Structure 1
Amino acid sequence: MNLRRIANLPVYIWAFIGLTLFSCNVTKNVPDGKYLLKSNTLHFKVDLPLTKKGELKSNIEKIIVQKPNSAFLGIPVKLIRYNTGYKKFSEDPQNYQIKNKTVEPPVIYDSTLKKRTALNIRSFLFNKGFFYATVTDTTILKNKRAYTTYNVDAGTNYLINKVTIDVDDKIAEKLVNESMDLTILAEGADFSYDLCEQEKSRITNLLRDYGFYNFTSDNVSFVLDTVNKQYFRDIENPFESAINFVAFQKNNKKPTLDINVVIRDNDGNAYKRYGIKRVRVMPDFQTGKDFRDPKMIQTTVDSVQFRYHNRYVHENVILQHMVVKPGRYYSQTEYDQTLSHMNDLGVFSSVRMTYRPDTTIDPYYGYWLNANLLMSPADKYNYNTSWELSNGTTYTAGTNLTLSLRNNNFGKGANLLTMSVTGGLESYFDSSDAPFFQHFKLLTKTVGANISLDLPKFLFPISHEKVSSANLPRTIVSVGANLLDRINYFRLLNVSTSFMYKWRETQTKTWEISPIFVNNITVSHITPTFQERLNSNSFLRNTYSTTLIEGENIAFTYSDKEKKHSLNYNYLRAGVEEAGGLLKTIGSALPLENVAQYLKFDLDAQHFFTYAHSTIATRFLAGVGIPYGKETSTLPYIKQYFVGGAYSLRGFRIRTLGPGSSYIPPSTIGTSVIDRTGDIKMEATTEYRFDIVKLFSGAIKMNGAAFADAGNIWLAEPSAGFPNGNFDLKYLGRDLAVDAGVGIRLDLSGFFIFRIDAAFPVKKPGGYFNSEEEATQNGYNFYGKGGWVLDKIDPASSEWRKKELVINFAIGYPF
């Protein structure tokens, strides 16, 4: 690299070099005789699988008492900022920058804190069932820096051998024993006190679901017996016992323990079973005076009393989603479900339920509770405006404006009515000699109007009595019209309608079924120039044609994020869609033309490995559309796949890849193919997300990411217009595109995430050719041997950055 290219390095590279050099002098404000804590190193030894070992190690790192200054890419930026303003910060320790942790004073090594750390680690491992863990530490002091190393040997953890139950109430004992097939304390499992706490919660929730209103986790305790009978078969011979212990250790057999679950009534109230006597619902509750206000409207439906200021929502809507009912035993689960269902309706800003024992009934006739469901109405209307700016390969600048209005309680039935209008423009820059503002030529206009009605129940032909409210059934009906006007190309109008059922099977499983959807696509105003292109390319001709789509689809979603509390969780969505079968069956009786017939299969699989301050997010995305029938061999335009952009392969601009390794001759806007689409799609992404800095006491978090994406789109059948564009498994490696990049994310208290990703290609679709001429003759773009462009990556080159570096601005994570 010559001196001129070095001088032309981007500003951010010079800034990184400067920070690196500056970080070499971070100890200048450390007092004499003191040391800056530079690093903590943890050596952890444990006999566990790699993933479990990594999780344990990550948790241990969290409880190390004294930690070094935070760093970004190995550079202690906050410490450098503190040293830069040392005089100001040292004279004002309460400075707001120190309080908000945008700067950090040097962390001075304190040897006494190592003892607290060792105690924390041993206590943590003890709770995990490692009763004999050892912790040692060493510290190297050099050049006013301290480097601490912790050596942790967890030893052997205990396994659960046998679990017994000791309950001083016959009904509670029967219920607990009948539920032991669901126990958390499974025989042979690694013991930990966390499992005991989970079992305590399970037993508590079980008994509270059967009316034991006063029962709490304090009524449950555990007695552990760690004396392994296998070690001490002959208690009168200590030598045999010692020999047995050593033998078991050599054979990698772990010691076991027995657990006795003890359940006791500590105050005489734990085993009183309560029923629900009266339920009162107040949908527009204001203050406690509402209980006695004679002016309020009062009605009783199905033994449930309603009190209103104004009839805000129909009683039947609430009853269909309320699980707590009079005449049933108190249940913690039904209490939780009722609150959850009321919140899911979307018409209440706050929901709470209170219980009070009914003291008017003699205990001889049982114990009873009166329930009050108190709710406050949410705003009936929500307004939203969305404005976007963008750019792409096929256009220079684009803008889109969306206005939406939502009625949260349409017809007083908790029905969500959403109406939206949208409009957008895309333009390209003409490099002619015209005045500046005349350089921008209009390329695309879009306008649309959509309306949807989301009802909190199943409509015909499914009766709501046949569906439990716990499944959160919903019916969604939508209608819309959207116009896409590609200036100098064509005009496409899509009129759509759909009818969908949606419900939750379990906490982790959700289903969506649309028994019917219709899209009527009309393509008009095709220009002569574009028509010539269509005439020479059957794929494009079928893509941009008037089409009628009628079909049905089903989608299944599995997500254990909530169940696993966002720790090492999974997400899976699989969908199937069919179109044309019904219309073709009855088509002989109807004058129907250009009916689309296809099958589509889509899969989205994600897994997240979560750590203390980072997450590894992985995703595999695949889709295939199979056209069938005699009229067309191509998917309709709106059903085709594309890749690239902020939520796909981020090193490539949206709709600029594929299909396959097909060769697209270099051309100017006006004659090039507008969108690159296909019948088959495949993507894979791995992203490492990590914390950088918290601002304003954590209200704003700046996080970073490093990622790699791979994938492409293909045609289902060969096309003369796109040579090498069809899918063939043996050419998968040739056709795949690969990119890499880094990103910054600003997280505003979890409500809003602004994302900037910078990415560039490392492999482009193409075969192994020695020259561009050879590649072109064989129908390929030439990017390098095998398509790899690693040798062409040159961040110092402004030309490379202009052509290859793609900056994506987006809201939210890519997945």
Structure 2
Amino acid sequence: MKQQIYRFNNTLRFTPLLVLTLCFLASCSNTRYLKENQQLYVHSGVELKGDILVSDKQELRSSLESKSLMLQQANKKFLGTRIKVWLYNQKYNEKKKNLFWNLVLSPKNMEEPSVFDSAKVQESIKRMSAYMYNQGYFYDTVSFEKSARGRKVSVTYKVNTGKNFVIDSVSYDIPDSSLMTVVKKSQPLSLVQKGKPYKQETLNSERERLTRLIKDAGYYKFDRGYIHFELDTLNKSFLRNSLNPFEGMLNVFNENKGLEKPTLNIVVMIRNPDDSLGGMHKKYTINRVIIYPDYPVSGDTSRFTFHDSITGFTSVRYRQDILRHDVLNRSILLRHGDTFSNKQYNATINKLYDLGVWQFVTVNYRENRDTTLDALLYLTPRRKQSLGATFEVSTSSDYLLGSGITLSSRHLNLRRSATSLDVSLNTGIELIRSGRAWVLQSKEFGGSVNFTFPKFITPFHISQDKLTAVKTKLSMGADYLSRVQKFDITNINASFGYDWTPSPYRRWIVNPISLNYVGTRLNPSFEDTIVNKNPYLKRSFEPAFIGGEVASYIYTNNDALHRDHYSFFRINLEESGLWLNGINSLVGLVNNHKNDLEDYTGLTISNFVKLDADYRHYWKRPRAAFATRAYIGIGVAYSSSTVLPYIRQFTAGGPNSIRAWRLRTLGPGSYHDTSATAAIFPDQTGDMKLEANAEYRFDLIRMFDGTVNLKGATFLDAGNIWMLRKDPDRPGSEFEISQLYHDLALGTGVGLRLDFSFFLIRLDWGIPLKVPYYTGNANGWYFSEWKHFSDPSWRRDNVIWNVAIGYPF
């Protein structure tokens, strides 16, 4: 069971009341503090018309409403009030000062009243029109409509895009034939293509692309200032009346305006430098590579004596030989005679950081008299060893209080090979409240040892020059969990595998060897009253030997290029039993089929295949975000196994799943365990899981002088778990496509988050909307039961309180 860690004090419970009280007070008018000729600017919006796609319209509206174009912004509302304006007035007009007001009146919690300014409206129209022109809407119109009610003003900007120009042709004017060759080879990847709508930002992006392309081709001193674009919207209609060229220009305008898609031609121009010999751009190559592996933080090298190790054109200047030179050279992709390349420059920095040995990595170039460069690498080491201790206080939906201690040790550079060693020991307990006494529910202790090697360790050679974050990992660990008067589980695991990043957005984790021993010991009473009555649960608690392969693929594009929205995708595939069964058969063959591996160890090999996929998408706004997730998982036992091992089964409910149900209480299917044991020990699991979540997150107020950000959220969760085979002891638990809609659980709720920057405390309150086992409605809709909301016992069973650390997804 995953623990949720948190730290907070009694102030937290009063936060919602404080917010509601302030909102009530802020409902009073804020116009009373305005001067006689002033009006409060309460609303601004954009009414957008034009022949454009819905997606483009939404993006265009968002741009037009930005602060850079719409210069005057109305004060934001919270719960129907402009509470930030009210707080501003309390400080600067009412002159409120005491401990309470000093706490609340943080600068980030206040907004100065937005007073209507007609000059800013006119300037906004000019900027919007200029922006539309840069986006290729040459025939746009922008106006505004003002509406006043008392001393409050609203402004609506009316924007008609007209028709967007489309690129008809792209040509190149590049006097340097070598540059022309480089650019033409990459033309299929150009962002400026025939038939695409014209946008100024597309030209800007193309300028950056060409700059990177040309610098990667060896042109070290090339910069974006050499690239220009020439737009041509004229055609032969300009020459229809040579005696009156102005009439010809009018013909061009009218003709293009009548076209369904007016067109333009683009000429990409790259001019030569003025100070270059022969007027051509210079192409540079790498000459010497000089490395300082233990460069001082101060940057002052005059006080130190350096040793030199020279191999060809590569020099290593060091004070202490902290890293083997073969390991160092493997991470440096700059070689004598190579053409200068920004890609190699960035890849070298990334690979050096990936070693984990350096705190700072700096690469500079020194230009020589010829067209060569010396690369100078300044590497400042990190501290080689570290010790850590963590004390945790936790809570969850099935225990009230938990605590744990983790001790850790790390060595970053074993045997001067950049191999890291991590050792950790942990112990913890969980307590429940029984009457007035605290009762121990579970105890746990364990440890792990992890080696991370900065290369592929394989029986054959694999080139890793084009890969970053290449690692080979060897892990071993053991864990003992005891649920008092129920069961003891011993978990011993080991794995060997690889972790690498083929591109900035993609990552692979592959463990060809993964071993997991699970030993169980059941309390006789628990075994007789609970386990033996449920054959499925009995099989789940059988000792298991899991051995197989695990592979994971991860994609995420959360970077500076995707600030408004980004995605995350992870897919995991695990197989157990394939090669272990081969070893088992081989041992049996050697012993003439008398005894095999299972006979010698007394363990049963688990045979199964498990697949799960997790997709998330995030939309970010200045003070809000919308997050979605879709999850699917399925596990199939095969050969002599009929059930997944207990630790590999799926569960639903809890703070990181469907929050309107407690952990392990939902499913499988429409089955609902109402036994007294289930109330104390909820433990529903399944072979398959479907889940979808959506959450809207928004900022509320900042507290404690802005160091803590109180945020709000509203969410919708849906999903369930199922069995793939019929379980007589749990009717309705098997998956049937015809019953999918009926079996889906649906929950909603609201939440508060205390964001401390370095960690986040999350409180969510969930309530069911659709309950698979509810018989009051054919499809399980639960709205009719909400009439009992005033009943405390109903709220205790149906309004679920979740506390956790971090976001659920």
1:695 is displaced (CA, Å) by 6.8
* 1:446 maps to 2:453: no
Deviates more, 1:582-591 or 1:171-180: 582-591
Structure 2 counterpart SS, 1:190: coil
Report the CA distance between 1:480 and its aligned residue. 0.5
Find the residue that maps to 1:68 and give its secondary structure.
coil
Partner of 1:196: 203
Work out whether 1:646 is the aligned partner of 2:655: yes
Partner SS state of residue 473, structure 1: strand
Establish whether residue 596 from structure 1 lines up as the match of residue 600 from structure 2.
no
How far apart are 1:744 and its partner, in Å? 3.1
Within 5 Å, give how 1:439-588 maps onto structure 2: 439-464=437-462, 466-562=463-559, 564-588=561-585
Describe the shift of the 1:311–1:22 C-alpha distance in structure 2 as closer, same or farther (beyond 3 A): same
Question: Are 1:637 and 2:643 counterparts?
Answer: no
Q: Give, in angstroms, the shift of residue 216 of structure 1.
A: 0.6
Distance in structure 2 (CA, Å) of the matches to 1:761 and 1:388: 31
Residue 81 of structure 1 deviates from its aligned partner by 1.8
Structure 1 partner of 2:5? none
Check 1:71–1:260 CA distance in 2 against 1; reply closer, same or farther (3 A cut).
same
1:80 corresponds, among 61, 81, 86, to 86
Deviation at 1:302, TM superposition (A): 5.8
Residue 7 (structure 2) aligns with: none
Q: CA deviation at 1:525?
A: 4.1
Correspondence 1:728-739 to 2 at 5 A: 728-739=736-747
What is aligned with 2:261?
253
- Measured on the aligned residues, the alpha-carbon RMSD in Å equals 3.0
Cα distance in 1 between the residues matched to 2:219 and 2:375: 15
Q: Is the contact between residue 348 and residue 376 of structure 1 (CA under 8 Å) also seen in structure 2?
A: yes
8 Å CA contact 1:40, 1:68 repeated in 2: yes
Corresponding residue of 2:784: 791
Q: Which residue of 2 aligns with 1:775?
A: none
Secondary structure, aligned partner of 1:624: strand
Change (3 A) 1:610 1:159: farther
CA shift, 1:628, in A, is: 0.9
Return the alpha-carbon distance in structure 2 between the equivalents of residues 685 and 233 of structure 1. 62
Rounded to whole Å, the distance in 2 between the matches of 1:25 and 1:303 is 75
Note if 1:279 corresponds to 2:272.
no
1:288–1:674 CA distance, 2 compared to 1 (3 A): closer
Deviations 1:760-802 (A, max 9, x none): 22222225x34xxxxxxxxxxxxx5532222333665544443
Deviation sequence 1:643-694 (CA, Å, 0-9, x none) = 222221122222221111112124157x854422111111101122334456
The match for 1:803 among 794, 797, 801 is 797
AA aligned opposite 1:183: S
Query: Aligned AA for 2:377?
Result: L
Identity of aligned residues (%): 29
The superposition leaves residues 745-771 of structure 1 with CA deviations (integer Å, 9 ceiling, x where unpaired) of: 34445x43333333222222225x34x
- What is the CA distance between 1:471 and its match in structure 2? 3.8
Instruction: Look up the match of 1:417.
Output: 421
Amino acid of the residue matched to residue 511 of structure 2?
S
Q: Which amino acid letter does the alignment assign opposite residue 256 of structure 1? A: L
How many residue pairs are counted as aligned between the two chains? 774
**Aligned ranges 1:322-471 → 2 under 5 Å:** 322-359=332-369, 363=370, 367-431=371-435, 436=436, 439-464=437-462, 466-471=463-468
Question: How many angstroms does 1:516 deviate by?
Answer: 1.0
Match status 1:160 vs 2:167: yes
User: For the structure 1 residues 753 and 673, does the alpha-carbon distance in structure 2 shift closer, same or farther, using more than 3 Å as the test?
Assistant: closer
Q: Which whole-Å CA distance do the structure 2 matches of 1:529 and 1:287 have between them?
A: 62
Residue pair 1:277, 1:369 contacting (<8 A) in 2 also: yes
Write out aligned runs for 1:617-766 (5 A).
Answer: 617-630=627-640, 632-667=641-676, 672-693=680-701, 701-749=709-757, 751-766=758-773
Q: Say whether 1:205 aligns with 2:212.
A: yes
The alpha carbon displacement at 1:57 in A equals 1.0
- Give the CA deviation at 1:559: 2.1
Residue deviations 1:475-505 (CA, integer Å, cap 9, x gap): 1111000111111111110100011112222
Instruction: Choose which of 132, 135, 138 in structure 2 pairs with 1:128.
Output: 135
Cα 1:267–1:46 change in 2 (3 A) is: farther
Who is 2:319 aligned against?
309
CA deviations on 1:439-496 (whole Å, 9 max, x unpaired) are 22211111111121122210122435x2225343211111000111111111110100
Distance 1:388 1:98, change over 3 A: closer
Aligned-residue offset at 1:55: 1.5
CA contact (8 A) 1:137 1:148 kept: yes
Change (3 A) 1:96 1:205: farther
Cα distance in 2 for partners of 1:25, 1:493 equals: 65
> What does residue 49 of structure 2 align with?
45
Residues 388, 49 of structure 1: alpha-carbon distance in 2 compared, 3 angstrom cutoff: farther
Is 2:29 the partner of 1:35? no
Give SS of 1:523's match: strand
Distance 1:308 1:88 in 2: 65
Cα distance in 1 between the residues matched to 2:645 and 2:396 = 23
CA contact (8 A) 1:321 1:469 kept: no
CA distance in 1, matches of 2:103, 2:262: 53
> Is the contact between residue 148 and residue 154 of structure 2 (CA under 8 Å) also seen in structure 1?
yes
1:179 aligns with 2:186: yes
Instruction: After superposing the two structures, state which structure 1 stretch, 302-311 or 386-395, moved more.
Output: 386-395
**Distance of aligned partners of 1:132 and 1:510 in 2 relative to their CA distance in 1, 3 Å threshold:** same
Q: Are residues 1:813 and 2:779 paired?
A: no
Could you tell me which amino acid in structure 1 is paired with residue 425 of structure 2? V
Counterparts in 2 of 1:644 and 1:404: CA distance versus 1, 3 Å:
farther
TM-score by length of 1: 0.88
TM-fit CA distance, 1:96: 11
Cα distance between partner residues in 1 of 2:174 and 2:697: 48
Contact conserved, 2:671 with 2:732, CA < 8 A, in 1? yes
Contact 1:708 1:741 in 2 (8 A): yes
Q: Cα–Cα, structure 1 residues 179 and 543, in superposed 2: closer, same or farther, change >3 Å? A: same
Distance 1:743 1:798, change over 3 A: same
Q: Secondary structure at the match of 2:74?
A: coil
Is the aligned partner of 1:71 residue 2:77?
Answer: yes
Q: Provide the rounded CA distance (Å) in 2 between the counterparts of 1:159 and 1:752.
A: 48
C-alpha change, 1:565 and 1:600, in structure 2 (3 Å) is same
What is the CA–CA distance in structure 2 between the aligned matches of 1:405 and 1:324, rounded to whole Å? 34
State yes or no: 1:114 paired with 2:121. Answer: yes
SS in 2 for 1:524: strand
Secondary structure of the 2:472 match is strand
- Who is 2:618 aligned against? 608
Instruction: Specify every segment of 5 or more residues in structure 2 that has no aligned partner in the other structure, as ranges.
Output: 1-13, 588-595
Which residue number corresponds to residue 774 of structure 1? none
Distance 1:812 1:254, change over 3 A: farther
The residue type equivalent to 2:339 in the other structure is Y
Q: Which amino acid aligns with 2:125?
A: A
Partner of 2:764: helix, strand, or coil?
strand
Most deviating of 688-697 and 562-571: 688-697
1:538-589, CA deviations, whole angstroms, 9 ceiling, x for partnerless residues?
A: 1101111111010102222222333743333222222221111222233232
Q: State the 1:305 CA deviation.
A: 1.2
- How far apart, in 2, do the equivalents of 1:710 and 1:232 lie? 63
